[in-house]
A = this chain, B = another copy of it.
Amino acid sequence: MNKAILLEKRPVGKPKLSDFKFVSNKIEEISTGELLLKTTYVSVDPYLRGRMSDAKSYIPPFELHKPISSGIIAEVIDSKNPAFTKGDFVSGMLAWKEFQKSNGEGLLKVDATRAPLSTYLGVLGMTGLTAYLGLTEIGKPKKGETIVVSGAAGAVGSIVGQIGKILGCRVIGIAGSDEKTALLKSKFGFDEAINYNTTKNMAAAIKEAAPNGVDIYFDNVGGPISDAVLLNINQFARFIICGAISLYNNTELPKSMSVQPFLVKNSALMQGFIVFNYAEKYAEAIAQLSIWLAEGKLTSAETISEGFDTIPQAFLDLFEGKNSGKMLVKI
């Protein structure tokens, strides 16, 4: 049989297990030009929360009672498409199903001998692209500048910090536990790390960690943490607004410090970043990330949950900050 996970209800506030529904169907037959895929790794990401709501956004919402989709690595187990052979591994935006057919469109072959398969959902996938292109295209870091990263122990944040160090910047990470802040310094090479759950005055802590002020803020969270960074920005500061996980489950429009006076005073910039708008830079970015990975300059971190049935819970765990690095489910 072939299990699939459907969006049963649009979550209100924080998503719950009951918003998802497991169903079982027969494995589909493939026709000429099609291939049959067996899911190997499933990426669960904060941005999926947005697609579960029925609101205008950069990608259409998921349909109710249909399978959810996300970044997936799958094995080709049967092929009637000359471009793919049984035994190939591919990455793509695929459905949360154990098995599914495809016409091959939008699938990229990935090489399990060059890097671990999961890497193609992490450093060498959308996660790495988001970190690299967000930081370089909007942040435009210059050697010696100070970068603050929120959600720093997360998939994107941990890579942003490492790239910041490679580019010669001072990097400060903000995360939610002492374990994570320790990891940021020991494993990912951040200069300073701040635990927002135990720090009373975040603005003062950022000031202490960034004595020359903040030039670039890679924002994955929004909310009070971002307010505290705003109090410490330099002239011409750049804010890459990559996510706002702290605000995604709000049921009312959240309020924060008014950003306008800070932006005017400092001629500063805030820009929403969606990696899909930079597709023409993917090849160049992956080439650079592959070099750094091969040189050992980039470390990838993963939190892996085991088993198809754990996908919904792994997704919910993102909002509790239970992951370090990329959150994946291995099937």
A residues in contact (CB < 8 Å) with B? 50, 55-58, 219, 222-223, 226, 235, 241-244, 247-248, 253-274, 277
- Given A58-B235, A235-B58, decide whether A264 and B255 contact each other with a Cβ distance below 8 A: no
Docked Cα-Cα span, A50 to B244, in Å, equals 30
Cα(A254)–Cα(B247), bound, Å: 19
Contact in complex: A269, B271 (CB < 8 Å): yes
- Find chain B residues with CB under 8 A from A277 CB: 267
- A260: which of B50, B241, B267, B274 is its contact (CB, 8 Å)? B241
* A226 to B244 CA separation, bound complex (whole angstroms): 20
A50 surroundings in chain B (CB, below 8 A): 265
Given A269-B272, A272-B266: A261 and B244 interface contact (C-beta under 8 Å): yes
Min distance, Cβ A50 to any Cβ of chain B, angstroms: 7
Q: Which chain B residues lie closer than 8 Å to A255 at the CB level?
A: 255-258
Contacts of A271 in B (CB 8 A): 263, 267-270
A267-B272, A269-B269 known; A257 and B253 CB under 8 Å?
yes
Partner of A244, one of B219, B260, B269: B260
A260-B247 in contact (CB<8A): yes
Asked whether, in the complex, the Cβ of A254 is within 8 Å of the Cβ of B258, the reply is yes
Cβ-defined contact, B264 with A243, below 8 A: yes
User: For the complex, what is the distance from the CA of A105 to the CA of B218, rounded to whole Å?
Assistant: 42
Tell me, rounded to whole Å, the shortest Cβ–Cβ distance linking A11 to chain B. Answer: 15
Determine the distance from Cα of A222 to Cα of B265 in the docked complex, in whole angstroms: 13
- B-chain residues with CB within 8 Å of residue A259 when the two chains form the complex: 256, 259, 270
